[in-house]
Amino acid sequence: MAWWLMKSEPDVYGIGHLQAEGTTLWDGIRNYQARNFMRSMQVGDLAFFYHSNASPPGIVGLMEVIETGVVDPSQFDPTSKYHDPAATQEAPRWDCVRLAYRRTFPAMLSLDRLREHFSVDDLAVVRRGNRLSILPVSDSSAERIFRLMGLEPDG
DNA sequence: GCCAACGTTGGC
DNA sequence: GCCAACGTTGGC
């Protein structure tokens, strides 16, 4: 079981949306490094839900990978902002994973607080200017995140 | 709104 | 293959 951190803008799709829906397809990822991280995910992996472009930004909840290797349907949709004219049904370029809501944390763990406790080597999201929307999290960093919130680790 | 970081694109 | 221009992300 591996840990991840996945960013989304709360105005676009926040933890509340996921809580209401129960599950979601993490589609629209158009960055190869982020896509490759999703390709390495396995069912049962856990991911911290991170609110980006928020004030303040930070970790707000937890979700679980429930399906991997899903072809991202938005790449074929000409009306989608994620449409990729270079993608074909025979040779899709983008895939994604399906996630299930696990929990909303009692309080956000803000980026400021993360920076007080983690170096960029421990947790890449604290690196200034990090634009990558999906990041791996080490077991020890995941445990420290829960401890910082005063919670027992899931998983 | 600004700007740093950085991935992508295209000319050569 | 190099690199400048450009676009996007995301913090502030």
Q: Does residue A3 sit in helix, strand or coil?
A: strand
> pTM score, two decimals?
0.95
pLDDT (0 to 100) of residue A46 = 98
Q: Which domains does chain A have, with CATH numbers?
A: 3-148 (3.10.590.10)
- Residue A85's pLDDT band (boundaries 50, 70, 90)? confident
Tell me, what's the pLDDT at A78? Answer: 86
Residue among A85, A68, A66, A63 nearest A76 (CA): A85
CA A9 to C1' C11, whole Å: 13
Residue A144 pLDDT more than 80?
yes
Q: Write out pLDDT tens, residues A8-58.
A: 999 999 999 999 999 999 999 999 999 999 999 999 999 999 999 999 999
- So what's the pLDDT on residue A104? 97
* DSSP type of residue A73: G
Mean pLDDT of A112-124: 95
Strand B nucleotides in reach of protein CB atoms, 7 A cut-off: 4-8
CB under 7 Å from any atom of strand B: which residues?
Answer: A 31-33, 127-132
Give, in order, the Cα–Cα distances in Å from A75 to each of A44, A96, A142: 26, 11, 32
Residue type present at position A78: P
Task: Render A20-64 in DSSP notation, one character per residue.
Answer: HHSEEE------HHHHHHHHT--TT-EEEEEE-SSSS-EEEEEEE
Q: How far is the CA of A23 from the C1' of C10 (A)?
A: 25
